[in-house]
Each structure stands twice: as structure tokens, then as C-alpha cells.
Structure 1
Amino acid sequence: MLNHIVDVLADPIDGSPLSGVDDFSRLVSASGHSYDVAKQGYVTLSGGSGLNHEGDSLDMVTSREVFLSQGHFAPFVEAVTDRVSHALEATHADEPVVLEVGAGTGYYLSHTLDSIEGSRGVGLDISVPAARRLAKAHPRVGAVVADVWHGLPLLDGSVNVVTVIFAPRNPAEFARVLAPEGEVVVLIADHGHLDELREPLGILGVEEGKLERMLEQAAGHLVAVGDPQLLEFPMRLDRESIAAQVGMSPSARHVEAETLRGRLDALPEHMDVTARGVLVRLRKA
């Protein structure tokens, strides 16, 4: 709910603080700008520039919800929550703020908030269908529609931990909103992730050197802390789980639906598939 996190939100136009009025049906800034809160509980803070694209479609969001709810990525969510918990031990905030960029349906963020007493979550996503799910994901989550590339509608130094799970990154903005002792926790897909599905389905692979490029882009804003943590585990997936996994990914836009359905139907009833990711910790440079 937005009332839990409004004290860290900022006007996307001029960066001034926001507050809720008219029973939180609107957020208004100190400079007089007003932003309507949707009836589903999220707010769009995109400033005058608007949004570059719509993000995940309703079908992609539904696929994400189906796949994640089955627990296939549980080791990923446990690792992220554990890392956030350790990072917050260095803070002295009574109600620490966790920002997830590209929060989707709120699966990861909700798990983290459930595990850390008193924590508050800002879930940010460019997708309106995702924000509708996100707004109802957890009582201490506030859902915001915004484009990370246009800037984060949050006050300087207002966030204790930023999490980014398989989502876009803006290192300069992460450094700006991060509290002095804060940490950025990033989970990226590693080369080999879901490779068993690449050839039979003709879907996108994970390019090599992704971690190195991320660290290069962060230079001057964020620095790595400790060694990256490799997370690798097997998953036994049935056809519908595989369909949901592909449907929630960028591959959903690169293979025609009829073609993909035919390839899925040709798969065995179950497949052993490898999940592979790298967890990286960063702090202000």
C-alpha cells in the first residue's frame, strides 16, 4: 500500500517529496504536481516524458505468476532474501526500505518482506498489468509504474537495499537513491541458464560476458562487494511449466505463438532443465 512508502517517493518531474491526499486517491508534491492513484492501488510516476514502452503484457505477467507460484525458482528467491537480510544488518533503520526494480508480480519482494520484520517494499515496474498484481502482492508493498531509464521517483538516499532480479539496471540512479550503508543486490541469468530448452524451442540464449558488462556499466557509480555467487540447480518441468517459463520471458516476443505451441507439443511430458544465475552485491563507489 502506498501509505507505507509515500515518505520515500519523489515527484518524477522535480524530485520534491510526495504526500497522500483525499484518502490517498492522489499523491501531490511539494511543488504542486498531482498524480492519481489507480483504483487497483498503484500510482504512475513517469513525469512529463511518459513511458518508452509498455513492458510485460498481461499474458506475460500471467505466465510469470503461474511459473513462479509453482516454486521452480525457490532457490533464487531464498538466495535474494538471504542476501537482503544480511545487507540490512548493517543499517539502523526501524523500518528499512527495499526497492525492487522490475518487480513484476511481487513474488521476490513479498518473500523478502515476509522474512524481514518491519521492512517496507517499493515495487517498481513499467508494466501496468504487473503493477495491478504488485499492488495486492503484500500489505507492505507500494506499487509504482515508472521507467528505470527515465529515473527513479524516489528521494536521494531513501532506500536501504535495491534488488534487481532479471531486470534492467540504472547504476547512476541506484547510487543516488541508496542510503550510505545500503546495498544493491542483482541476480542475472548466467550462460547456460535453461539451455536444455534453447534448441528444441528456438528461444533466446544468455550471452556470455553479461556479468563483466554489468560491472563495466556500474563503474563510477557502484562497486562490487565480495565475489559473485553462482546459483545453479535442476528443475523438473512439465510442458505447461515450460510454456509458462517461455511465456514470461523475452522469447515470448521472438517466436510466433503457433510455432511455439507446436514445438512445445513435441517435447516430452517432463524435462530436466538447469537454472543458472549469478548473485552480485554492489555498494556506492
Structure 2
Amino acid sequence: MSTRFSFTARQCGLKGSTACSAASTSIASNLSSLSSFSSCGDLESMSFVTQRRYSDEFHSEEQGLERFFEACASRGREGSAVEAMDKGSVSANSRGVFGDSALHYAAHSGNVTGLKCLVAHGADVNARNHLQVTPLGKAVVEGQLAAVRYLLSAGADIEAADDVSGTPLMAAARRSRTDVAQVLLDAGARVDGTDSFGNTALHLAAAEGHLSMLALLLKRGAAARRANARGQTPADIAVASWTDNLTKDKMLHMLRDAGDEDGGARESPEA
């Protein structure tokens, strides 16, 4: 079909992308097409076919990688991912367009079996994507508790900060993932760790109005009067962020009680 198309296109005087656009995608790998265009000196069409061939090969490889990522993320499909890694056709540390590894995909969906298969094949448990997010960060944001537990047991950096949410505990505080925060704190996460603006998880929980998260962090010793880089305490953040008086009053009551227990002194941000 490709050879006949080449002849017909040549007879009609079509060249380049105009001639090739109506062809089957098989033209990209059919050397007879190049031969036909070459015989009539159609360099433009030869160039198009050559570029299309490499483009198709690229997309084929990209689609194969996407299928690998999907298999790692999907329960019951891990076997095909393991087979691909065992054959050497794909690496456990292969990356997608935005720098996500297969571990990121499995963590996002909470597929612990997929995570275990990848780690067993040498996947980097602390791999970072283009926004510096680790698989643990992905699992935290999605509230994938079992994945969080497994990644921590596999050596994930509990304080790995990214460009989106800060540390895993901060990511949990932003989204009121109280159960995830409990696991992180039990595993040794710093309750008063700060981001680039000097905010702690308590500041972030106050900004979002997450009462259960606020209560957990205060119970675990978060400094209620710690000021951020702008000199704002969590109570200041609560006042600035909320017009809902009921939520705001509850937060202020909790923070002031905890602050009184701390001695009532405003703390400077960490150096």
C-alpha cells in the first residue's frame, strides 16, 4: 500500500507532508517509500518520511513507558511490569515527561504491591520529579496510608521537602490528612520543621482551617507561638485567613490555650 501510495502521489505531483499525510502509518517503516521518493528526486518527501519514522519510534517507546507506569500503578497488573523489568526492556528508574518515576505512579494510586516490585528491582525510593516531589510526597498528598507506611519502611526520606507542599508532614497538614500525619509523626517527622517562608505544619493547618490537624499537631508538641519569616504566628494566620467566625474562634481558642501552656511568649522563627 505504501509503494502504491508513493507512486500515486508522485503521479499527482504531491510532495512532502501533503503527499504523506494520506498514507498509512506503516509508511514510516516501509523502506520502499523512501526508494520511491528517491527515484524521482523528491528530497522533501524523503525528509518527511525519515522524520516521521523516528517520530513514530519515539511515540511507540513513550507509549510503552506509559503502559509500564500504568501496570505499576494498577492492582493486578504488576506482573506485566515485572516481566518488562526482568527482560530489561524497561528500568525500574525510568522517568516520564515530568520526571515522575514508576514509584511515583504506584505511590499516587497506593499500589503497595507495585511499590514492592519496583523497590525489589532497584527503584530509587527517594527519586524526585521536576518539582522535587518524592514518591512519599505523592502518597501523602493522595492520602495513601499503606503506601506511606511501606515507603517509610523502605527508607524514604521523611523530611524531603519539595517545591509544592514542603515536607511530607506539611503536605499532610495542608490537606488535613490526619491519619497520615500521625504515621509521619510516629516515624519521627519534625513537628516544627519549617518551609522557605518559615511556616510550620501548624501555620499551614491554621491557614486551611483544619481543626483535627491543629489538635493533633498541638498534642504532639507543635509550638503554638512560633512566628514565621513575616513574624506571623499560627493564630495570626488563622485571623488573616478566615472570615468564618466559628472556625476562627475554635482555632484561636486551641492555639491560645496551647500558647499559655508554652508560657505565652512569641517565639522567633528558626534560623
More helix by share: 2
More strand by share: 1
TM-score, with normalisation over the residues of structure 1?
0.26
Higher Rg: 2
TM-score, with normalisation over the residues of structure 2?
0.27
Larger relative contact order (C-alpha < 8 A, sep ≥ 6)? 1
